[in-house]
Chain A
């Protein structure tokens, strides 16, 4: 993959998409070979990993942003933007366990998209909140991509993948079976399914 590319990983359940993302993120180590990444990487392998229900929204923003690799200065600088994007109103200083699931996801997603990584990994997490918020998230991700950041998306939502990515890679049982423009990849996948 080259810098600034937006790639969709496609395939059936169990074809190895998420595993590949985890290998890229360094969460898992490959049995053979190696995966190398240039620049700062943020994996959105699951929204809200590291959120703790007993902490307030504010505390969770700090904790989660730090977990995702932001330094304290960047967190302070971005804090208002993160909160504004999440749009959770007066609940910022409420413990997260009182949040509705939608509010929780909004805040978590907002933190993740504001980490401003060079490489952004997204795994099936775009089913966030209501339609308006989902659209806001997609716009944000598109902007990250337009800014020349590299994007790797795993999703079964084919129209969404076509919107976000240029290149599509189809996996089957851990093997690459198709690699090309996203439209062709999606067609290939539809034909196989």
Chain B
């Protein structure tokens, strides 16, 4: 005979892992629903980044002459892909519990599924863009190298963990204070400027001062690390001079950023579990 158990105790991410099938169904549903009745369908996930890229490339690259960066197209696209994936993941994850309010109120299922599904959907969108990035880098003269592969994997893992941790945290708080989603939107619009996506790092270094704490903060922003990683993985190998321009200490900063991201996942899970008892009442 099975044991008496309290229903609905949050099992955290482990519970999500046990319900993988439901997770895949939720991800598929999300993709289906987002592109319902649209002719282009998943093609929109190419068009949007293509337009963003074109705007920055023309505006910054050609007009403001940032194309002093060698292989600026690869540099720009790599960073944009990472930041866009993170923005999409976090933006949707933050809203995910509120958006699924009806389910949360009626059926018990591990609610962590919702933010995790949002992150997975962003991952599905990221994949073809990475392929485009790699093809573009190949055309620009890049050839795969082992360290680069590790950097790319680290970049994706880091971005995913960050989005999951923050997504869990913010989606739970969003149930209590809907202001959160507006704040997140605001922060996400600034995000692309807070990492070396559009401009080279040395401009920030000379602005803030090499030894200043402001620059250290900028450098240790986990998303900056993710952008540096994608640059290291692709852009660095495209032209001979590029590798020297990748900011130093990347390996150390990667380890720190991964530790921060894992910490955020733990924190997010904890907060989520504590608040999830109130979800049904608040929604």
What residues of chain A have their CB less than 8 Å away from a CB belonging to chain B? 22, 24-29, 34-39, 41, 43, 45-46, 49-50, 52, 54-55, 59, 62-63, 66-69, 71-72
Contacts and interface: CB of A to CB of B under 8 A. Distances in A.
A41 B4 CA distance: 12
Contact of B5 (A37, A52, A55): A37
A165 to B, nearest CB: 21
A170 to B, nearest CB: 24
Contacts of A34: 6
Nearest to B33: A54
B218 to A, nearest CB: 42
A59 B186 CA distance: 36
8 tightest CB-CB pairs across the interface, nearest first? A26-B8, A26-B7, A29-B277, A49-B106, A36-B4, A26-B108, A66-B22, A54-B36
Given A28-B281, A66-B21, A55 B29 contact: yes
Contacts of A67: 22, 103, 107, 109
Contacts of A46: 106
Interface of B: 1-9, 19, 21-22, 25-26, 29, 32-33, 36, 102-109, 277-278, 280-281
Nearest to B37: A54
Contacts of A54: 32-33, 36
Contact of B2 (A25, A39, A69, A71): A39
Q: Is the interface of A mostly helix, strand, loop or mixed?
A: loop
B103 A50 contact: yes
B107 A49 contact: yes
Given A26-B7, A37-B5, A67-B22, 5 more contacts: A37-B7, A38-B3, A49-B107, A50-B107, A67-B107
A63 B32 CA distance: 13
A45 B106 contact: yes
Given A39-B2, A68-B107, A25 B8 contact: yes
B108 A25 contact: yes
A63 B280 contact: no
Contacts of A62: 25
Nearest to A68: B107
B25 A45 contact: no
22 contacts: A25-B7, A25-B107, A25-B108, A26-B7, A26-B8, A27-B8, A27-B104, A27-B105, A27-B108, A35-B6, A35-B7, A36-B4, A37-B7, A39-B2, A41-B7, A45-B106, A45-B107, A49-B107, A50-B107, A54-B36, A59-B32, A67-B22
Contacts of A36: 4-7
A50 B106 CA distance: 9
Tell which of A26, A34, A43 has the most Cβ of chain B within 10 Å.
A26
Contacts of B2: 38-39
Given A22-B280, A26-B7, A43 B107 contact: yes
A1 B108 CA distance: 21
B21 A72 contact: yes
A49 B21 contact: no
Contacts of B106: 27, 43, 45-46, 49-50
Contacts of A43: 106-108
A53 B105 CA distance: 19
